[in-house]
Amino acid sequence: MSRLVPERTFLAGKIIFNFGQSSIDCVVRRLSEEAATLEMQSGLGVPDHFQLRLAGRDILSCRVIWRSDRQVGVGFEQPGSVERPTNDGQGRSPDSLMRAQMLALRAALDHVPTGIVLLDDRLRARLINRSFRQMWHLPDQVADSNPSILTLLSHGRDIGAYEVPDPALEAHVKERVRVIEAGDPTPIDVRRTNGDVVRVQCTPLPDGGRMLTYTPVTDIVRFSDELKLLRDALENVQDGVLLLDSDLNASFMNLRMRRFWEVSEEEAATRPAYASLVSRAQRASAPDLAANELAKFPGKRLAEVKAGDHVRDLRTPDGRQIRAHCTTMSNGGRMLTYVDITDLNDKANMLERLATTDPLTGLYNRRHFLSSLDAEWSRFQRYYRSVSVLMLDIDHFKSVNDRYGHAVGDEAIKAVAAACNEGKRKSDLVGRIGGEEFAVLLPETSLSRAKLVAERIRKRAMAIRLNAHQVQFGITVSIGIAEASVSMSGIDALMGAADQALYQAKAEGRNRCIAWTPPPPASRAAE
């Protein structure tokens, strides 16, 4: 057999086993007198012992020392080789054993995804694995020449691999050399111009050398950057955000929420329990909660959050309205968001007032009055509960406008509106139906009780005194009263009945209350 010499090799070979019935094509790398590295499509089908045929050489008996997905490291057992390997290593020189182990180590390190550089005590590379060479596009002739660490770092600078401004490149390389010389094991993330991030760590070796590891962490750093971006965004949103872990301890609390709970950034970092936050100075409670119920609310609120998803409206001691959304997270924790809806509620209430009230008097407008009357009519039909209506009109209102002007007329309308509000009961509803016309809805009120309310309002209106052009004068109102009856077809009939009674009051001299009475039945012909 021709002499095998240690060298970097690239030969075609064939793995033969199963008594010559099976074979696998392979490429032989790093062939020496003792061992070789074989590369094939898959190393899974290679047996522990086989024969290796090389072109122009004898067949060698091999045993597997190590294996990976696509490579196996083998030692030679063929008697024709210079030294016959044995299981216990007897008869082999220390130098040959070292070479075999180094070959196995080098082959193994070539297949890890982490870049590895072994430096001697002079900080010159004695081993550079394939991942490092590919990561930094380092030519084999440079890698195999035992380059210094300065040469390796300068290579990265020269190919523009570092995401460092040109004026700072030299300082960056010098600083990296200083850190490696010092043997500082602190990991450093190096960003590359292609967007990748490599985590570099230096480990001092017992012989004075260094082991440098270059681990790709692009995805980890990207997720970390995205997480930081998300946290920064949550930190500055206008709504309060509180993240609780599965034990309901605060894992994140943004600026708005820290201000709400009066928690410092340092205290928030201690992950306070939600139970302690919700009990803090009664920062928020249920709206319109009785004083004797305040002490119980924190416990109820904690139970709500434990139960999971819900929406709860809260009120702060200074009257702000907060809408809290609780969402259950996949990790068993909770996300609470606090939205200040005070302004929204104020605007909604203002819009509702504009839509339902008369701007001059503040009374309900005609549309809202009729809508409320319709609801009471439904209850009357379903439960036969009494309901009555008063219709009011300011007497001789046209002459007030003509004599004193519309501004004084408006004052008269507002004065009568005030008289209606003062004379009605708490459950009654007053509306301005027309120019000087008003109506009062009296739920669950019979005709006799409605007369009492009407008379009270009439007397209050009669006591009104208005001033115009240094003249003081009074006004009066006429009131028609009607109670719902089963013979009526609906609210139009009820309003019509009260209106008829109002006209009758005016016809009888005004400043009086007249109750509507149904007309007598028509006489039968036989009578």
User: Which residues face 22 on adjacent strands?
Assistant: 17
Element (H, E) at 505: helix 491-507
> Number of helices (H) and strands (E), helices first, in the chain?
16, 23
Q: Which of 328, 325, 329 is nearest to 311 (CA)?
A: 325
| Angle 516-517-520 from CA coordinates, rounded to 5° | 150
Count of other CB atoms within 10 angstroms of residue 417? 20
Fold (CATH) for 244-342: Beta-Lactamase (3.30.450)
| Angle 172-176-180 from CA coordinates, rounded to 5° | 170
Cα separations (Å) of 472 from 398, 406, 452, 511?
Answer: 17, 16, 29, 19
Q: What is the pLDDT along the chain (527 residues), one digit of tens a residue?
A: 344 444 456 788 999 988 888 889 999 888 888 888 898 888 778 888 899 988 777 788 899 888 877 888 888 885 644 344 344 444 555 555 555 566 666 666 777 788 999 999 999 998 888 889 988 999 988 888 999 999 999 998 888 888 888 888 899 999 999 999 999 999 988 888 888 888 999 999 888 999 999 988 888 777 777 767 777 777 777 788 889 999 999 988 888 888 888 889 899 889 999 988 888 766 677 777 777 777 788 888 899 999 999 998 888 877 888 888 999 988 899 999 888 877 776 676 677 777 788 989 999 999 999 999 999 999 999 888 899 999 999 999 999 999 999 999 999 999 999 999 999 999 999 999 999 999 999 999 999 999 999 999 999 999 999 998 888 999 999 999 999 999 999 999 999 999 999 999 999 999 999 999 887 766 544 44
Q: Which CATH number fits domain 357-515: 3.40.50.280, 3.30.70.270, 3.50.7.10, 3.30.9.10?
A: 3.30.70.270
Return d(Cα 173, Cα 155) in angstroms, integer: 10
Cα separations (Å) of 345 from 51, 319, 353, 365?
Answer: 86, 12, 12, 21
Query: CATH second-level architecture of 11-76?
Result: Beta Barrel (2.40)
Q: What is the pTM of this model?
A: 0.45
User: Which residues face 24 on adjacent strands?
Assistant: 15
Return d(Cα 487, Cα 447) in angstroms, integer: 15
Looking at the chain, which residues constitute the CATH 2.40.10.430 domain(s)? 11-76
Contact predicate 251/336, CB 8 Å: no
Looking at the chain, which residues constitute the CATH 3.30.70.270 domain(s)? 357-515
* Phi (first) and psi of residue 242, to 5 degrees: -130, 120
- Strand pairing report for 513-515 and 437-443: unpaired
Supply 157's token pair. 């600078």
Give me the sign of the Cα torsion angle 35, 40, 44, 45.
negative
Contact predicate 25/51, CB 8 Å: no
Cα separations (Å) of 364 from 90, 130, 358, 370?
Answer: 109, 85, 6, 10
Residue type, 83: E
Return d(Cα 250, Cα 272) in angstroms, integer: 6
Return d(Cα 513, Cα 477) in angstroms, integer: 9
Classified as helix, coil or strand, 20 is coil
Looking at the chain, which residues constitute the CATH 3.30.450.20 domain(s)? 99-221
CATH number for the region 99-221 comes to 3.30.450.20
- Strand pairing report for 35-39 and 22-29: antiparallel
* Phi (first) and psi of residue 228, to 5 degrees: -65, -40
Catalytic residues: 436
pLDDT value at position 3? Answer: 45
Beta strand segments in 183-230, E: 188-191, 197-204, 210-216
Return d(Cα 350, Cα 384) in angstroms, integer: 35
Return d(Cα 296, Cα 288) in angstroms, integer: 14
